[in-house]
Amino acid sequence: MKKLLKDNGYLIVKNVLNFKKDLKPVLNDMEFMIDCIIQKFTQKKNRNKVLNFEFKKNIHTYQN
């Protein structure tokens, strides 16, 4: 493993993190922070539209 890390500059280790215990709390914090930013910088009339935007349905719009 040390050789792979040294040779490649990275190492893939599977099943180290648990989604619910390790990643979900971070994602929840990020979601809260982004919602706060939206509340602060988005006009009131557009907030619901921005907060309820469905990225999966609209992803083709942003790909070139």
Q: What pLDDT is stored for residue 53 in this prediction?
A: 79
pLDDT, one tens digit per residue, over 10-51 is: 998 888 999 999 999 999 999 999 989 988 998 988 888 888
Indicate the domain borders of the chain.
Answer: 23-64
| Cα-based distances in Å from 62 to 41, 51, 57, 58, 59 | 22, 18, 11, 8, 6
Q: Is pLDDT of 63 > 60? A: no
Q: Is the pTM of this model over 0.75?
A: no
